[in-house]
Structure 1
Amino acid sequence: LYPYVYLLARAAFREQPGCTFEVARALGAGPFARFLRVGLPLARPAIAAGVAGVMMETVRDFGVVDYFAVQTLTTGIFTTWPEMGNAGGAAQIAMVVLALVFALVALEKISRSKSRFYRLSRQHRPVVPIRLHGMAGWAATIACAIPFLVGFVLPVGVIGAHALENTEQWLAPGLLEALWHTLSVGGLAAAITVSAALVLVYGVRLTPARLPRLLLPISTIGYAAPGAVLGVGILIPLARTDNALADTITRLTGHDPGLVLTGTAFAIVLAYVVRFFAIAQGAADAAMGRISPSLPMAARSLGRSAGGALREVYVPMIKGSVGTAWRLVFGDSVKELPATLLLRPFNYNTLSTRVYEQASLEQIGAAAPAALLVIGVGLTAVALMARSSR
């Protein structure tokens, strides 16, 4: 969760005007005092947003706390429903978790509501970095390397060592099938999510009514909800709909179709779309906001329909942002565990659920190949995003 704070804080510090630090220096403030009294307060909104994201992700986490046998509300959902068969109790716990998440969101909004920071100078001069030498430079280098070494090099090295010691696990039955399920379900969910976000954001921009503009942010609530809560909220009504649909088809045709919705990957794809719609919506809204309204108006004046203007004007100009949104949704879908565990059909595994199953049985060597594949897929998505942003 370190990047949640690091990335936002880094962007905030880089965007701070250098003139404020020059004034503080002229008043006799040293480097440390300038950081505490000028830089840190200016970056507080971004840091608060990052900390709120860390708290929400901590509440939503399932895999780590379950592996270390730490009882949380999220693990309580799995204990109450799949193990004890109490769907009502799981729904009640899910409501408590959801209320806690919304309380954290509200707390973060309130903490920043009275803090407003504006750039007064028209010419933005960045802060001049201070080059460290000697022991100070080495200390800063070591401090910056610790998160990377502890958070990436060490765990990947341990997993890689287990994978090398158990090379036969690369040919284990079910690994390639789990990889295919991960890529296909994640890719399909990302495509549907991005397409839906484009259509909805574009439709809101076309309509003069205020109601769609007020309702669109509500569609992003799924990102704040933990995957386990989302799984409970989707599976209970979807199972009832599935049973009613199967009974109706059986009465009409005499053929039992089985569970069409919950017996396939449909429920997983639906959960991914709801869960990560906020990512695609934010990217689409920001990208479309950078396009001058005169361009689609010119297309409409030339006889293009609203759909034609979207297809021929907007999409070609924002294809980079669309691709980034697809990779973000795909990367998060690959890692999603709680919703996948609750909604997957029988004998249906993705890479994340395979890692969870093998690790729960203390078979680290068997879990290592799938874990490395998850890391590889995630790094590939990050590399593609970095390449497209050049």
Structure 2
Amino acid sequence: MTDLAWAAAQLKARQPDHSLPQGLYTDQRAFAFDLEAIYRQSWLMAGMECELPDPGCYLAFSIGDWPVLVVRGKDGTLRAFHNTCRHRGSILCQNGYGSAPKLVCPYHRWTYDLDGSLFAAGRMGEQFDKSAHGLSPVALRVVAGAMFICLAADPAPFDEFGERFSAYAGPLDFSQLKLAATDLLVEQANWKLVMENARECYHCPTGHPELSQSFPVHMSRHFDAFRNPQVEAFNASMDAAGLPHTAIEGPWWQIARFALNPGSTSISMDGEPLCTRPLTRANGGDVGSLRWAIDPHMFAHATADYVIVFSCMPVGPQETHVFSRWYVHKDAVEGVDYQLPALKELWLKTNMQDKELAENNQRGVLSPGYRPGPYSLEAEALVARFTDWYCSLAQDYVAAHD
């Protein structure tokens, strides 16, 4: 059986509104398939444009085995490239942030301008055409201060998400952010188990006691209000402030603004703001949380005082890297307007709790006694949506390559 036929058989065996067949969480073939069929075909959030403030600034990162580079050109334009030299394929820039007037391959010193064009290649002869050997581009869209990339040759439509995201995120002016902190967590669990956990709060009341202080852990799907008077009052205040809040979604994205627990204006240990230099003063700083999520890999929350972005990248069939980034207003001063340990505390605790839950889930899925179980469509509606999306995109890929 070919790997593609194996994947097709696994997908066919999936029961509606149930978790996935065992092999899709455990097998090396599933890992290779997911990179090609899911991560390569999807729009992914690369970060915020504030992370690359000046010409020559770059961000290098990996999507599975694939190195990617985002760089700000001399003209101020952000561009994305495959992070591989057009000579013999060496990586140009190691993962992380950097700044350089040109991009120089460490192997044979081929040198590229910041727009990706080849500037110099020694000892290649008079007939060598530099214009034919620029860096290979990656699709990049910058919307409302956030950067999104797609490795597909023909990316999925983006404009509807871009327009909606701009409307919801615009009032917070993400262009005025700065990166305050980052964190990397290595989880011994399949990326789909990590994301299924991230798409529900069924486990939150007992799994995240600290998060439950400010976060409405008992709501379902897009934090539906169920005619809760406190939430209805919040929605009315958002209407008065001109802040969109209605939950909306597309094939691979969701956006909503929702009320936090009574008395809370930030997602923090006590519900109090973590930064005194706010992103917005609308409604007295009580704007709940703007949540956006992109399948396959991320969710984010933006309150009036900070932004947290959670992103997961598959490393192996049972290993996932979870990246967290915290952003505050660019004029906020560490130690004065915010304390870094306090800014990170709640999400570090929450992520560690989720790591334990996901790894425990992975160990159980490996059991010969594992059988796909039914989702709670009240508490796990977004998990069912995620697995439905995964299976649909995977089946489309199989059909296109069969």
Q: Please, what TM-score do these two structures have when normalized by structure 1?
A: 0.25
Structure with the largest fraction of strand: 2
Higher helix share: 1
Q: Which has the larger radius of gyration?
A: 1
